[in-house]
Amino acid sequence: MEVQIFGVQNDADTRKALRFFKERRVKVHFVDFKQRAPSAGELRRFFDRFGEARLIDRSSKRFAALGLQRAYYGNERWLEIAAEEPLILEMPLVRSGNRLSVGLDEPAWREWLAS
C-alpha cells in the first residue's frame, strides 16, 4: 500500500497523518503545499468527492487574509482559488489509489489498511 498526503509540515493533523502511516510501515509520498501547489486535476478528485463545503477551511488564517468570508462561489471557482492558494484547504488531504479522505480520519485509514 502507498499513500499520498497533501498538507503543510507545520499543521498538527498533517503530522499526525504522516506518523499514522509511518508507524504502520506504509510508503508515504508527502506533498508540502508551501513548496509545491497541487495540480487542478489532483484537487478535482477531492472536490468531486467531497465538495467545497468539506474542503475549504473557512477558519484558516489564509482564508481570512484573502477576504473570502463573504464569498459564495461554485465548486469550479473554489477549485481555481484552491489551486492558487492551497492553504485555504482543510488538511491533510490523503489519497491511496481511488480512496480519498479529508482531515484527520483515522477510522477510514484503518479500514484502508484492513482491506
DSSP 56: B
Angle between helices 40-50 and 75-84 (to 10 degrees): 140
pTM above 0.85?
yes
* Measured distance CA(104)–CA(15) in Å, rounded: 10
Tell me, what CATH number does 57's domain have?
3.40.30.10
* Measured distance CA(1)–CA(43) in Å, rounded: 21
The CA dihedral of 84, 87, 31, 20, to the nearest 10 degrees, is: -160
Domain assignment of residue 110, given as a range: 2-114
The pLDDT profile of the chain, 115 residues, written as one tens digit per residue, is 899 999 999 999 999 999 999 999 999 999 999 999 888 889 999 999 999 889 999 998 998 898 888 878 888 888 999 999 999 999 999 999 999 999 999 999 999 999 8
Determine the residue type at 48.
D
Query: In total, how many domains does the chain have?
Result: 1
Is residue 48 within 8 A of residue 93, CB to CB? The reply is no
